[in-house]
């Protein structure tokens, strides 16, 4: 009986605490400015579940931020009390009078709260707000793919403990942050504000009218205390949020009259620079042409590819383009810089055609062209280049006298020698005996060639003994194995002159490439010239050219074998 009485007393006490539990709702400021945050504080004098408070009723009129929940237990004179607190950040977008509804928690309801929201004019903002956002765009009337910038400034007068800034949003556009955040101090109406500045580049991809949503800041600021001693309030903070204003953006479509790659810009220019300056160009020496394209209101990805038409007799090797982006007075400036190495194989006068880049001037709303005028260059004979080629020809290869071009004096000497030789044939009986010996040698050669068909091993042995050593080819292999691109480049022409397929002497790399006429060899030579003449990395790997040289040399050995067999057959047919 006693236990039943105790149980009834416990139940009645529990019910009484639930019925008389007090629930209150307050806000930290009233009135408030549109876009400024307020904190809704709901407190229940009981330990309740975290989900007992539902803030969905506020979504109709407010932007609802995060809700933080805290519980507290205290004991005074052996009496235990519990407290559960919900703090929610609210932001009113527009000015007007609003009502925060009553909330039912554990059977108890809070009272309604009337809230007045003032328009965000400058006086109210500077006098009443400790935290606000300024957002402005460089242009709110743009074309499709015309880039504009959004500048966001976060002002706060109180001490900021932590926080984060969301990204802006514009339907059908790409948004990219430009550069890093900047921090500075500004004085507004006698108040000191810390300012964090952030810039965004926005590229609309669709035409129409849109609303640009500015970023929202959410964080915590250190709570100021009115107590005489702030020891107990050390480290206390309050949640804050602030939203920038919305901005209307009008995006116009591409004009139907425009032809070509669409480049909407406030300013677009193209310039060039030549190296070496004020110097006569020579054959074989690289000429560097630097082309710079500058555009305002375009991203790096929108800048067109730079190409130079190639006149006959010139080789052009483009380097990788360098891209730069900067912000100047809230305007985005993009730049593309590209170097072109130009090499002339023959002396003469060359004309580089003009470069035309069409673009649309967004200031005047007109079609324009950025033009780099045509350039005429004169290339003189390079004595050093010819001397280096001829000296390499003498040292690196063994060529017959018929492959060496002769001047008039040499040809006259050769004619005199031939005449003397013809005269000696008529007068010297020794040459008659020599002719007889040569005839016997021809007969012997016919005898050997007839047995070579029956003995392949003997044939290969004789061919191996008769094969001469090509020192130019060996030197070229050495330079490829040791990755000496400059030396290998000088040996190409002499080596080609020594080949069986070459009927006359050549003097340039281009002639060598045309004579070999193999794609792998052409690609390997282009890579070698690109590395040697370009402004990029000078490191060259000779493996690819080495493979091509061995392949060509193998083909040459087969050609020599066929040529020898043909010569033997011709001698046999001519033998009486």
Report d(CA 453, CA 459) in Å as an integer. 8
Boundaries of every domain in the chain: 21-118, 130-226+235-252, 264-380, 389-574
CATH architecture of 21-118: Sandwich (2.60)
DSSP-derived letter for residue 217 is: E
Tokens of 132: 């606000």
Q: How far lies 426's CA from each of 413, 429, 430, 433, in Å?
A: 20, 8, 10, 13
Q: What is the pLDDT along the chain (576 residues), one digit of tens a residue?
A: 555 545 554 555 454 444 456 888 888 888 888 877 888 888 888 878 778 888 888 888 888 877 888 887 777 777 777 888 888 888 887 888 888 888 888 788 888 888 888 887 645 444 457 888 899 998 889 999 998 889 999 998 888 878 888 899 999 899 988 888 899 998 888 888 999 999 998 999 999 999 998 888 888 887 665 554 444 445 577 788 888 888 999 999 999 888 888 999 989 999 999 888 766 788 878 888 999 999 988 888 889 988 888 888 888 888 888 998 887 766 778 899 999 888 888 888 888 889 999 999 998 989 999 999 988 888 888 766 554 444 444 444 433 333 334 444 444 443 443 433 343 334 455 556 666 666 666 666 666 655 544 444 434 433 343 444 566 778 788 888 888 887 888 788 888 877 755 566 777 777 788 888 888 888 888 888 777 766 556 678 888 888 888 888 888 777 766 665 665 555 555 454
What pLDDT, on the 0 to 100 scale, is given for residue 565? 63
DSSP strand E in 17-93: where?
Answer: 23-27, 32-33, 37-44, 63-76, 79-91
Q: Name beta bridge partners: 242.
A: 36, 217
- Rounded CA separation 86/67 (Å): 7
Cis omega (within 30 of 0) on the bond before 276?
yes
Quick check: pTM over 0.75? Answer: no
Using CA atoms, how far apart are residues 160 and 31, in angstroms rounded to an integer? 23
The per-residue pLDDT for range 63-92, each reduced to its tens digit, is 887 788 888 777 777 777 788 888 888 888
Q: Is 436 left (phi over 0), alpha (psi -120 to 50) or beta?
A: alpha
Burial of 451 by CB count in 10 Å (0-12 exposed, 13-18 middle, 19+ buried)?
exposed
d(CA 169, CA 320): 34
Who's near 562: CB < 8 A, 6+ residues apart? none
**Positions of E strands within 313-411:** 314-318, 322-328, 331-344, 348-352, 355-361, 366-372, 375-380
Distance from the Cα of residue 16 to its chain's centroid = 72
User: 426-471, pLDDT tens digit by residue?
Assistant: 445 555 666 666 666 666 666 665 554 444 443 443 334 344 456 6
Rounded to the nearest 5°, which phi and psi values hold at 437? -65, -40
> What is the reported pLDDT for 437?
62
Asked if 255 and 134 count as a contact pair (C-beta separation under 8 A), the reply is: no
Q: What is the CATH number of domain 130-226+235-252?
A: 2.60.40
Neighbours of 244 (CB within 10 A): 24
Q: Do domains 21-118 and 130-226+235-252 have the same CATH topology?
A: yes
264-380 — its CATH code? 2.60.40
Q: pLDDT tens for residues 246-296?
A: 899 999 999 988 888 899 998 999 999 988 876 678 887 888 899 999 998
């Amino acid at each position: 009986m006693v236990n039943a009485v105790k149980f009834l007393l416990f139940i009645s006490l529990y019910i009484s605490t639930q019925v008389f539990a007090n629930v209150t709702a307050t806000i930290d400021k009233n009135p408030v400015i549109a876009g400024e945050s307020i904190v809704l504080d709901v407190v229940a004098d009981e330990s309740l579940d975290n989900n007992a408070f539902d803030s969905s009723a506020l979504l109709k009129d407010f932007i609802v931020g995060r809700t933080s929940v805290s519980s507290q237990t205290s004991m005074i004179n052996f009496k235990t009390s519990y407290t559960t607190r919900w703090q929610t950040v609210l932001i009113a977008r527009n000015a007007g009078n609003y009502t925060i509804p009553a909330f039912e928690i554990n059977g108890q309801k809070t009272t309604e709260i009337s809230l007045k929201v003032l328009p965000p004019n400058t006086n109210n903002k500077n006098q009443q707000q400790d935290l606000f956002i300024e957002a402005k765009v460089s242009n709110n009337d743009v074309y499709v793919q015309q880039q504009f910038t959004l500048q966001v400034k976060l002002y706060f007068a109180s001490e900021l403990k932590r926080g984060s800034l969301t990204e802006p949003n514009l339907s059908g556009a790409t948004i990219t942050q430009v550069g890093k955040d900047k921090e500075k101090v500004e004085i507004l109406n006698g108040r000191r504000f810390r300012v964090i500045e952030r810039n965004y580049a926005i590229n609309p991809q669709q035409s129409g009218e849109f609303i640009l949503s500015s970023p929202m800041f959410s964080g915590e600021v250190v709570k100021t205390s009115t107590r005489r001693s702030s020891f107990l309030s050390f480290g206390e903070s309050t949640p804050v949020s602030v939203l920038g204003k919305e901005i209307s953006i009008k995006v116009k479509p591409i004009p139907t009259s425009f032809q070509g790659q669409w480049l909407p810009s406030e300013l677009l220019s193209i310039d060039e620079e030549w190296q070496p300056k004020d110097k006569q160009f020579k054959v074989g020496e690289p000429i560097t042409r630097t082309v710079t394209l500058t555009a305002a209101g375009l991203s790096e990805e929108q800048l067109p590819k730079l190409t130079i038409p190639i006149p006959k007799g010139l080789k052009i090797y483009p380097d990788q383009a360098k891209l730069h982006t900067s912000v100047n007075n809230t305007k985005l400036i993009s730049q593309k810089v590209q170097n072109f190495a130009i090499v002339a194989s023959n002396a003469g006068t060359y004309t580089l055609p003009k470069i035309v880049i069409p673009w649309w001037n967004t200031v005047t709303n007109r079609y324009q062209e950025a033009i780099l005028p045509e350039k005429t260059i004169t290339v003189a004979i390079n004595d050093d280049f010819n001397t280096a080629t001829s000296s390499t020809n003498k040292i690196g290869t063994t060529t017959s006298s018929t492959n060496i071009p002769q001047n008039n004096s040499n040809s006259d000497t050769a004619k005199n020698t031939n005449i003397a030789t013809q005269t000696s044939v008529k007068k010297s009986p020794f040459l008659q005996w020599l002719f007889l010996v040569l005839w016997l040698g021809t007969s012997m050669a016919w005898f050997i060639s007839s047995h070579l068909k029956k003995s392949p091993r003997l044939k290969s042995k004789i061919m191996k003994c008769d094969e001469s050593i090509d020192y130019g080819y060996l030197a070229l292999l050495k330079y490829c194995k040791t990755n000496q691109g400059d030396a290998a480049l000088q040996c190409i022409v002499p080596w080609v002159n020594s080949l069986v397929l070459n009927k006359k002497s050549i003097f340039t790399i281009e002639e060598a490439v045309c004579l070999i006429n193999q794609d792998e060899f052409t690609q390997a030579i282009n890579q070698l010239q690109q590395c040697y003449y370009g402004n990029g990395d000078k490191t060259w790997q000779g493996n690819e050219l080495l493979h091509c040289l061995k392949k060509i040399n193998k083909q040459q050995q087969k050609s020599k074998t066929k040529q020898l067999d043909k010569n033997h057959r011709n001698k046999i047919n001519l033998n009486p």
